[in-house]
Amino acid sequence: MTSFDLTDGVRSLNQHLQQPHDAATQITAVNAKGKHAVAVGATQLHNITIDGNVGYYCGGMNQHAHIHVKGHAGPGLAENIMSGSVRVTGNAAQYCAASGHGGSVVIEGNASARCGVSMKGVDIVVRGDVGHMSAFMGQSGTLVVCGNAGDALGDSIYEARLYVRGTVKSLGADCVEKDMRAEHKEQLRALLQGAGIDDLAVDEFRRYGSARQLYHFDVDNASAY
């Protein structure tokens, strides 16, 4: 077990995560106290536990590492995550998993506005609610919302898949409800299981995605652009 005290900054931890190691290491980081850029740019498998709340961009551009934040996370949690996982016991502020290319992100509490904005392959599971404009321009990957979704869910969405258990305040441009077929239930079941959620049934969720009506510029869609 390697321990880092973040009182004096995040440099030592981040350097450690970006250096080659022969084997995965167990890491704890204490005294995060809202610091920004905690555990960013990891390049290989580590199991990292961060005690306390983190600021902006925790787990940014993560590759392979598994990061567990025992607290709340500020904006841009796991932005551009490539692989591995990031889990937060509390809430996540806006832009959670923005532009994430892969890996998984689990929020045990709520996620604020623009959760999964510009997502490109990441799988996100939010136990609570998500704010407005979530999955805006979502390209691929999956957003699972066990609570409710705010305004303009999936606005200008491409091929990302959205599953919402509660209410959706409104859908964004070109985002529509779609059938829940067997393969979708299977995918959702696996994502919930991976997130450690075993008290919810997949039948309680609805699926949303792109109507693909805005994929080509068309004057008849001018009001939607």
Q: Is the CB of 89 or the CB of 139 nearer to another protein?
A: 139
Tokens 């509660």 sit at which residue?
166
Name the site residues for another protein (rule: CB under 8 A). 10-11, 14-15, 18, 36-37, 40-41, 43, 55-57, 60-61, 63, 75-76, 79-80, 82, 95, 98-99, 101, 114, 117-118, 120-121, 136-137, 139-140, 156, 158-159, 215-217, 219, 222
Cβ neighbour number for residue 183 with a 10 Å cutoff: 8
Distance CA 128, CA 5 (A): 31
126: left (phi over 0), alpha (psi -120 to 50) or beta: beta
Distance CA 14, CA 161 (A): 32
Q: Which residues pair with 142 in a beta bridge?
A: 123, 161
Closer residue to another protein (CB): 17 or 192: 17
* Choice between 17 and 144, CB closer to another protein: 17
* Shortest spacing between CB 136 and another protein, in angstroms: 8
**Which one, 23 or 217, has the nearer CB to another protein?**
217
Query: Which whole-number Å values give the CA distances from 62 to 84, 95, 209, in the listed order?
Result: 7, 15, 26
Q: 7: how many CB neighbours lie within 10 A of its CB?
A: 10
**Which residue number, 44 or 197, has a Cβ lying nearer to another protein?**
44
What are the distances in angstroms from CA 80 to CA 184, 201, 224? 25, 30, 28
In the complex with another protein, the residue whose CB is nearer, 63 or 104, is: 63
CB of 194 to another protein, least distance (A): 22
Cα 201 to Cα 204: distance, rounded to the nearest angstrom: 6
Q: How far is the CB of 98 from another protein (least distance, A)?
A: 4
**Residue 50 C-beta: closest distance to another protein, Å:** 15
Minimum gap (Å) between residue 73 Cβ and another protein: 12
Nearer to another protein, 86 or 192 (CB): 86
Minimum distance of another protein from residue 204's CB (angstroms) = 30
**How crowded is the C-beta side of 197, counted as CA atoms within 13 Å?**
25
Distance of closest approach, residue 203 Cβ to another protein, in angstroms: 30
Number of H helices, E strands in the chain: 2, 11
